Amino acid sequence: MNLLYSLANMLAEMAPYLLFGFLVAGVLYAFVPGNFYRNHLAKPGVWSVIKAALIGIPLPLCSCGVLPTAVSLRRNGASRGAATSFLIATPQTGIDSIAATYSLLGPAFAIIRPVAALITAFIGGMVVNREENSCDTAYKKEVDTLDAPTSNNFIGKLRNALQYGFVEMIQNIGKWLIIGLVIAAVITVFVPDGFFTFFAEYPLLSMIAVVIVAVPMYICSTGAIPIALSLMLKGLSPGAAFVLLMAGPAANFASMIIVSKSLGKRTAIAYLTTIVFCAIGIGLCIDYLMPRDWFTMPLLSPQANCHLHISLFSGICSILLIALLINALIQKHKPHNEQIMESSLTTFIVKGMTCGHCKAMVEKNLSKLPGVEAVTVDLNTGATKIQGTPEASAVREVIEDLGFSIDQ
């Protein structure tokens, strides 16, 4: 029962902020045209790197969803440094995760997360820009990013915003949010208090341990928040918890493989090195240079206790969020109604897709190939069915340009 109470308290604390974040995410998607991002990232230099970071920080893309978007920006003319800056900044934050961070971890973490993302993205982008030669920056190959459906009226755009924010976004991060909450509740209930106090005298050691655990795994920026809270409740330092918040969402093995393949091995090395060293550096600053009360006061709030502390408003928001999660799950696994004729039907198994953003990018770009009449993608199996007569080499090229691969 204590496990359920802890889970319910954290969900109730996060629900109002998550719903607000999903709404803002939908508005950004529907009302800001995709070419806005491309037009501001094409020129190499300091400003393109800064713009890429500033654009990426509020975008609610997880590390799997940001990869095809960043690759597409690169193919559409963005400099390698700007693409790297976008890759580093975007998965660490997002309107939804910043709001959820404030709800569970307090204002200090909520402010430092986007600031740290900006600093890390700028450093990573500038390191890559120094290695980028003039011939490489001129490279351009058209691959469409995931833009909102075109609509000329406010009602249509609002409908697209609600669909994206409360259906597609929840489909993309809902599973990881639930996993994060469950892990956090298990840590809160079953790990003894003070379990991590051994690391209190060795903050650098604890941060290295967090990096070793965080980099191989995948966890989204929102799902990492309750885990960080629970670890701090058990004695982990605020700086080490912050390393989890930075390194967990931004760096994982799947991301590294796609970055290396799409942007080059040097870019991948700069990408990972920048994230790890900046995360540890900022974590040390938190532990040694900032007042500890900024980060420990939220631990006194009741959200992680083993008794219910839910207000009426938080309870309503929790019920609404649960309903949206259930709806998103049903929509994600509902059989498609598209009728694709078996004649002239080709099926490819695309590897590397992990979220709705990946699926939509593949469908959109393949549908533009000559000879393609319809495309449907099964995200769970990777089965990509194409009606028409496209050239297999053209299909493979599009898939690889997006950072994915075709199973032989």
Beta-carbon count within 10 A of 96 CB: 28
In a domain, 394, yes or no: yes
Distance CA 186, CA 242 (A): 20
Residue 189: how many CA atoms within 13 Å on its side-chain side? 18
Q: Is the pLDDT of residue 196 over 70?
A: no
Write the pLDDT tens digit of every residue in 94-111: 888 888 899 888 899 999
In a domain, 391, yes or no: yes
Write the pLDDT tens digit of every residue in 41-83: 666 678 888 988 998 888 777 666 676 667 666 766 677 888 8
For residues 276 and 384, membership in a common domain is answered with no
Residue of 2 and 68 predicted with greater confidence? 2
- Give the end of a domain, one of 320, 335, 369: 320
For residues 129 and 202, membership in a common domain is answered with yes
In a domain, 327, yes or no: no
Write the pLDDT tens digit of every residue in 370-395: 888 888 888 778 888 888 888 888 88
For residues 304 and 358, membership in a common domain is answered with no
In a domain, 74, yes or no: yes
For residues 300 and 169, membership in a common domain is answered with yes
Domain of residue 381, CATH code: 3.30.70.100
For residues 256 and 349, membership in a common domain is answered with no
In a domain, 301, yes or no: yes
Write the pLDDT tens digit of every residue in 132-186: 643 344 444 555 555 566 666 888 888 888 888 888 878 877 777 788 778 877 8
For residues 258 and 305, membership in a common domain is answered with yes
Q: Residue 194: which residues within 8 A CB-CB, separation 6 or more?
A: 234, 235
The parent domain of residue 369 ranges over 345-406
- Give the end of a domain, one of 320, 337, 371: 320
pLDDT-derived band at 316, boundaries 50, 70, 90: very high
In a domain, 326, yes or no: no
In a domain, 14, yes or no: yes
In a domain, 332, yes or no: no
For residues 159 and 195, membership in a common domain is answered with yes
> What mean pLDDT value characterizes the chain?
79
